[in-house]
Amino acid sequence: MTDAAGLPVWIGANFWSRAGGPRMWTDRYDPGVVREELAVLASHGLNMTRSFFFWPDFHPEPDRLDEDCIARFADFLDAHRDAGMTTIPTFIVGHMSGENWDPAWRGGRDLYRDVWFVGRQAWYVRELTARFHEHPAVSGWLLSNEVPIYGGEAPHGDVTAWAQLLIDAIRAAGATQPVSVGDGAWGIETTGHDSGFRVRELAALTQFVGPHVYRMESDQVRQHLKAAWVAELCRIAGLPIVLEEFGVTDAFVSAEGAASYYRQQLYNTLTAGVSGWIAWNNTDFDDLVAERPYSHHPFELHFGITDSAGAPKPALLELERFAGDLREMDAAGLRRPAARTALVLPSHLAEGYPFSRETEREHIVAVGEQAYAAAREAHLPVDVVRESADGGIAAGYDLYLLPSVKQLCGPTWRQLVALADEGAVVYASYSAGETNAQRGPWWAFTEELFGVRIDSAYGLVEPIDDELVTLELTGALGAPAGLRPGDRLRVRAAGTDDARSMLPVTVTEGEVLATDAHGRPALIARRHGSGLAVLCTYPLEYLASRLGRVNPEDTWRLYDALAAEAGVRRPIVLDDPRVFADVLEHADGRRFAVLASQHAEPRTLTPVVASGALHALDGAPAADVDLGPYGTQVREIR
């Protein structure tokens, strides 16, 4: 079996031919058009596609496959081989672009739990795999396409057993290529909603995890980081991450907007550790406007990276440029440097504890994402570190960020005291959460850690009545370059009546670093030997997460000061939170800076590199970097 660690760097497109769309395997199949379409993709640097066995056509009867469809798919594979490309076939394709299609003989049977029906699926998967697994153009397999939309949700044990049986069928047929599920990675670990498709359980059966990212946003920075944040959440699987579907329809955005969206998703996910990119999709379908699903979902017509005549669109040109950068860097050898900062996610997100609520889990995802944006604005590399099921987090970091946290396990609070005692900087901001169930901080050892006593009334929250939350520094944090007395941090207030609240405290052993507009303690620090614990009584990350067009907001300045206090050495920094700057290392010792501007207008900037100097990929010195609107650049650090 192909080792997950040895996956190729895939950059490609989800593929339906413009001559037929989902019905391309019928007599509409046009070998010449397919080869033209693949030639355009290959000439722009793409090396693979994701393809689809349209289930109703390939499996017309319970014990029969359609041999004409199979012959056309064989030709499709030959076309890939001739173009120097590979493909990942997808088996259970009952959902596509806003509509579900069943095999005519399904009869309403449960996709996961009807024994006979699962047996028919396994037979279908095994037979198709046996036909094609030796073809050199097949580089992987996917069980399904967004099957939670098609088959519905189910208990996670049933879902995992279904996946096991179909993967066993692939292996029984002799296939050695990597396999994944194709469900979109929309499980409890990444969304807070338990659909039954648990990323960790499925990871035990598969060789890569493939998120599908089309989420809507109210903030441009969060939207540009959306797929990167989802990738960070998918790292819980411990497998390579392939951005299996992402893209944008021309119905929603201009050509320039589509290009900048692709550009940002590609480069920001590269620095988040993604190692494969499959755009949705290869072509527009103008000639299919009267056919389902496009007739009732017309925005689905124009997700293509080529138009309906096969001409490249701006998104394909962005993919071409990205593919060129990947070649220059020899992307298969890239890795992220070890981070010295941990962005901590409570285990209440992934563990499904008794009497936990989906709203609480969604809160963890939202505030974590906003904290991730603030860290990127502070040019602060972070590892997303998950609390273990029984409490406890990874040791060894210089800075721990616990943004707008309501819940952690008891042992973790004790460990945070020990981490501070051992020299780390531990930061936590309070949040009551968005439900009124046991509303308040599920904290322990608060006084031991922060040197404060909680001073709230039982059953009540202290509302934030100010429209603009202002924290004025009375002490220094991260001196000399961090926050100084008189500096102010400002965040607009937002959120529900439960969560738009602050934590009143009485300071005992702590030192007040900042007060709010009413003179109440807002930032409190307590020394622990060479370490420090810092409490923010306002849920800064939560407030910002509930606002549109808010980033960059001042939380990045707090994170910047915390990093300075912790002695975190950032490999590359800029005097501009609207330009992300990250570093990747190659196994051969080379280092690369990846810059992504969040400005809608051009910028010229001079990054400060901790060690070395910037050069263009062709070797020429390049201390200054010119970035276009929402532009990206890669530079080598020598």
Look over the chain and give the mean of its residue pLDDT values, rounded to a whole number.
96
- The yes-or-no verdict on residue 220 having pLDDT over 80 is yes
3-class secondary structure, 265: helix
Query: Distances in Å between the alpha carbon of 634 and those of 32, 276, 592, 623?
Result: 37, 18, 7, 12
CA distance 630 to 636: 20
Q: What is the mean pLDDT of residues 541-545?
A: 98
Cα separation values, 549 from 152, 191, 219, Å: 34, 22, 4
CA-wise closest residue to 532 among 416, 392, 410? 416
pLDDT digits (tens, 9 = 90+) for 333-372: 999 999 999 999 999 999 989 998 999 999 999 999 999 9
What is the three-class DSSP state of 491?
strand
DSSP code at position 388: P
Cis amide prior to 281 (ω within 30 degrees) = yes
Amino acid at 600: A
pLDDT at position 440, please?
85
Q: Give ranges for CATH 3.20.20.80 in the chain.
A: 4-335
Q: Categorise residue 620: left if φ over 0, alpha if ψ from -120 to 50, beta otherwise.
A: beta
Q: Bridge partners of 236?
A: none
What's the confidence (pLDDT) of residue 45? 98
The pair phi, psi for residue 511, each rounded to 5°, is: -115, 130
Residues listed for the chain: 638
In terms of Cβ atoms closer than 10 Å to its own Cβ (0-12, 13-18, 19+), residue 617 is middle
Q: Which residues contact 118 (CB under 8 A, 6 or more apart)?
A: 111, 112, 162, 165
Q: Which architecture, in CATH terms, is 341-566?
A: 3-Layer(aba) Sandwich (3.40)
Widest CA span of the chain, in angstroms? 79
In this prediction, residue 8 carries a pLDDT of 87
List, in sequence order, every residue forming a beta bridge with 345; answer none if it has no partner.
Answer: 386
* pLDDT at position 7: 79
How far from 630 is each of 268, 421, 578, 627, CA to CA, in Å? 12, 43, 10, 7
Residue 3, pLDDT > 60, answer no
Listed in sequence order, the residues at least 6 apart from 147 whose beta carbon sits closer than 8 Å to its beta carbon are: 92, 94, 95, 111, 181, 182, 183, 197
CB neighbours of residue 237 within 10 Å: 24
**Res 592 pLDDT > 80:** yes
Q: What is the DSSP letter of 387?
A: P
Going by C-alpha positions, the residue among 582, 576, 606 that lies closest to residue 594 is 582
Q: Is the pLDDT at 5 greater than 90, yes or no?
A: no
pLDDT in tens, 297-340: 999 999 999 999 999 999 999 999 999 999 999 999 999 999 99
Buried b (16+ CB within 10 A) or exposed e, 161-191: ebbeebbebbeebebebbbbbbbbbbbbbbb
What digits encode the pLDDT tens for the residues 236-286? 999 999 999 999 999 999 999 999 999 999 999 999 999 999 999 999 999
Helix (H, G, I), strand (E, B), or coil: what is residue 592? strand
Q: What is the pLDDT of residue 6?
A: 65
Tell me how far apart the alpha carbons of residues 481 and 474 are, in angstroms, rounded to a whole number.
Answer: 16
Domain(s) labelled CATH 3.40.50.880 in the chain stretch across 341-566
Task: Give the SS3 label for residue 38.
Answer: helix
The CATH 2.60.40 portion of the chain extends over: 572-637
How far is residue 408 from each of residues 148, 237, 369, 577, 615, measured CA to CA in Å? 30, 21, 18, 30, 45
Which of 3.30.43.10, 3.40.50.300, 3.20.20.80, 3.10.25.10 would CATH assign to domain 4-335? 3.20.20.80
* Continuous segment of H or E residues that includes residue 389: none
CB of 48 within 8 A of CB of 278?
Answer: yes
Q: Angle at which helices 314-329 and 255-271 pack, to 10 degrees?
A: 20
Which residues face 596 on adjacent strands?
A: 580, 632
Res 503: pLDDT: 97
SS3 at position 533: strand
- The DSSP H or E segment spanning 186 is none
Distance CA 477, CA 565 (A): 6
Helix (H, G, I), strand (E, B) or coil at 107: coil
Check: CB of residue 475 under 8 Å from CB of residue 511: yes
CA distance 51 to 73: 10
Class of domain 572-637: mainly beta
| Tokens 């910037």 found at | 614
The answer on pLDDT for 2 being more than 50 is: no
Res 1 pLDDT > 60: no
- The strand pairing partners of 525, in sequence order, are 511, 534
Q: Please state, as a whole number, how many other Cβ atoms lie within 10 Å of the Cβ of residue 445.
A: 14
Task: Provide the pLDDT for residue 229.
Answer: 98
Q: Indicate the pTM of the whole model.
A: 0.97
Q: β-pairing, 141-144 with 86-93?
A: parallel
pLDDT beyond 90 at 437: no
Tell me how far apart the terminal alpha carbons of the chain are, to the nearest angstrom. 38
Closest CA to 26 of 16, 13, 36, 40: 16
For residue 581, the surrounding DSSP H or E stretch is strand 579-586
Distance CA 69, CA 283 (A): 21
